[in-house]
Chains A and B, each alone.
Chain A
């Protein structure tokens, strides 16, 4: 009853003021039932607790409140306001004690917004939440997945891109509540966002990460990611993307047969014949539409025309527009001209069109690689490479000092104070034998 809630409020306030946040977390997790029983009074409780001082308590209450709510407009407005304010003012060090609760909170909050069709409100809130809970800018949290979901639903991609452009190095475990579903969703939604902004390279990378997640069972997310992976590879490279060796067996054994239609499309694509591709598309139109991939499939078709035009550059130096249209099986020279102009703009082809006689001249790549910009580019790539190497070395050192590893390597040898030189020589021989 109300007394139980008062009890809860008093305990939480006193423990928080003492700074004993570990205790607070334990107490709070024990009292979730109490809170759940008194859902109606939770709003008053929220009013009494101060978000900054008693962040953990407020978080727990909010969690329960959000889970037990329906998405009427009034509810959403107030809840959104409360959550936004909470996340803006909550104290980071308190939150670090209960990252799983934070993740839960954000999850229910995001679901609520999506159900209420006002996803855009939550983007800023979740961005702040991520920044506060992340152990470092390179950690992946489950809130990332929710943020990307919201951005995708509200078609507002820039905030998500800011987070996605950073390569993830580590995953925050959130005290055991981090689920692989969040990981898969982050990369799947992320890939979709990159496809929407036409950054096909990164999209392919994200989808590839999704399908190479170690797995023992088929996940629908992986299945969808696989279908999109094939389509994006067709657009990007003009051929079916290579399934990496380290993808789990589940992919080849189960997922591939389930997405046979896409594989057929890829095979037809590789024959470079637009008619075949069109026939495959029209034959399987319902499947594509049902999977909501029809847009991508149409982009594949135009990618085929582009690929054919690029193949022409290898055989011809100049060609008339009519010829281009014929060889690539486009409907008219004007359409060919449109295609070529687009490709020149995006830098996919080097050519110049002579308007008077309708001739296209294919040029060589004018890049001589001797400019300062190229050197700056090389320098940047080298820095990236060195950064990766530094990280690998750090990870390697972690392993080398791991006592389990040392035991496995030295075997049944007794290590009672070996002299430094002999230890060095054994480690050298071990290193050289690795």
Chain B
């Protein structure tokens, strides 16, 4: 109670942002004694960090330690998020978690996409490398520039929109990183994914930053944004397929795989029946089977139903598409072959690694 009174006094002395502080203090949970030191001091940089340590133990609203702007602030842009990004982030986190011994894992990365006017579309993401300096996260600038060059080559029309990280609610460490991103971009979007969330909604929150005056000091605060999930058909199918394939202990297959499986069985059946008819005709030509005119007339009629379309233009387009598909499967075959070769060479090396070098001409036939 005492702390609340102190807060209110301080709030009365503060200038225009005092209202936001008051709102926060009124909703504050009771019994946080260490908090009152923070608003009385003029917020040197170390203080929010120490205050933030305790502040994050509670839910976000400790005045001065909080990084959230007032609940009434409205975001300036509308955001649509592609599910690919969520998949990327969760994969990044899972991978990191599988590699590290500690269970507390935080990953960091950049978000790229398109921005038109007041609408932001986050389409893809990639990882960022960072260093820990005095417990603060510092983004590796060179790595970012390298990655930027590379993704500009592939996705030439996507720009840097913001950054993501994992964890619970945002705190001052996030603001620190956000400030660094602000050097690269004017007003970045900040996405936070909570991999430990227990509720069934999507544990993704998106924020943008606003510059507010807190106790006369312009500080960066975060405003939560509403977002929608943007999907196009192809992306949804692809992501669904990948998501199901990656959990191999569950035997369900993705929708597209089922669809393709059905088509494959249908074509296989068609091929076997056509082969049967061809065998019959050949056999009656050879004289092994009695010449049945009626059946042969029917086969003739069937054969004349195809091709349905036989113009010059159709043939051109048809072969165009055929060759495209053939090229793609050729590429797939080569990749698969490279994979097999790689595995084989690894095993070969493992088997023969301590044997003498005098093996005649094994490798030459490659």
Contacts and interface: CB of A to CB of B under 8 A. Distances in A.
Interface string A393-423: 1011001101011001100000000000000
Interface in A172-228: 178, 180, 183, 209, 212-214, 216
A310 to B, nearest CB: 25
Contacts of B348: 399
B365 interface: yes
B54 interface: no
A385 interface: yes
A12 B337 CA distance: 51
Contact of A378 (B327, B346, B350): B327
Interface stretch (B189-197, B281-289, B354-362): B354-362
Given A392-B337, A392-B340, A213 B364 contact: yes
Interface stretch (B140-148, B231-239, B317-325): B317-325
B323 A378 contact: yes
Contact of A169 (B320, B361, B365): B365
Nearest to B348: A399
A183 B361 contact: yes
Contact of B365 (A168, A216, A402, A431): A168
Interface in A342-401: 368-372, 374-375, 378-379, 381-382, 385-386, 388-389, 392-393, 395-396, 399-400
B365 A370 contact: no
Given A183-B360, A370-B320, A389-B337, A378 B326 contact: yes
Interface in B281-337: 316, 319-320, 322-323, 326-327, 329-330, 333-334, 336-337
Contact of A180 (B329, B337, B343, B360): B360
A396 B343 contact: yes
B359 A214 contact: yes
B268 interface: no
A213 B354 CA distance: 20
A370 B316 contact: yes
A396 B323 contact: no
A221 to B, nearest CB: 13
A192 B92 CA distance: 55
Nearest to B351: A405
Interface string A279-320: 000000000000000000000000000000000000000000
A2 interface: no
Contacts of A183: 360-361, 364
Contacts of A170: 365
Nearest to B326: A378
Contact of A171 (B329, B336, B351, B361): B361
A283 B47 CA distance: 80
Contact of A369 (B323, B344, B351, B365): B323
A261 to B, nearest CB: 27
A400 B347 contact: yes
A434 interface: yes
A409 B348 CA distance: 12
B363 interface: yes
A434 B346 contact: yes
B3 to A, nearest CB: 55
B341 interface: yes
Contacts of B320: 368, 370
B349 to A, nearest CB: 10
Contact of B340 (A178, A214, A396): A396
Contact of B326 (A375, A402, A408): A375
A214 B316 contact: no
Contact of A434 (B337, B347, B365): B347
Contacts of B346: 434
Contacts of B322: 375
A378 B359 contact: no
A209 B337 CA distance: 21
A393 B341 CA distance: 8
A379 B330 CA distance: 8
Contact of B350 (A379, A388, A409): A409
A393 to B, nearest CB: 6
Contacts of B364: 183, 209, 212-214
B363 A214 contact: yes
B180 to A, nearest CB: 37
A213 B357 CA distance: 12
Contacts of A369: 323
Contact of A395 (B319, B333, B344, B363): B344
A382 B340 contact: no
A402 B346 CA distance: 15
Given A246-B363, A399-B344, A399-B347, A378 B330 contact: yes
A371 B320 CA distance: 7
Nearest to B350: A408
B347 A396 contact: yes
A434 B339 CA distance: 12
A434 B349 CA distance: 11
B334 to A, nearest CB: 6
Given A212-B363, A370-B323, A393 B351 contact: no
Contact of B347 (A212, A389, A405): A405
A209 B358 CA distance: 17
Given A371-B319, A392-B341, A382 B347 contact: no
B339 to A, nearest CB: 9
A407 to B, nearest CB: 10
Q: Among the interface residues B327, B344, B364, which one has the most CB atoms of the partner chain A within 10 A?
A: B364
Contacts of B365: 167-171, 209
Contacts of A209: 364-365
B351 A402 contact: yes
Contacts of B326: 375, 378-379, 382
Nearest to A213: B364
Nearest to A373: B319
A404 B343 contact: no
A380 to B, nearest CB: 10
Contacts of B351: 399, 402, 404-405, 408
B352 to A, nearest CB: 9
Contacts of B341: 392
Nearest to B333: A385
B78 to A, nearest CB: 43
Nearest to A376: B326
A81 to B, nearest CB: 35
A214 B334 CA distance: 27
B218 to A, nearest CB: 52
B334 A385 contact: yes
Given A396-B344, A399-B351, A386 B333 contact: yes
10 closest Cβ pairs, A-B complex: A378-B326, A370-B320, A385-B333, A389-B337, A396-B344, A405-B351, A392-B340, A370-B319, A434-B346, A399-B347
5 contacts: A371-B319, A372-B319, A375-B319, A386-B333, A386-B337
Given A178-B360, A216-B358, A399-B344, 7 more contacts: A214-B360, A374-B319, A382-B330, A386-B337, A402-B351, A408-B351, A434-B347
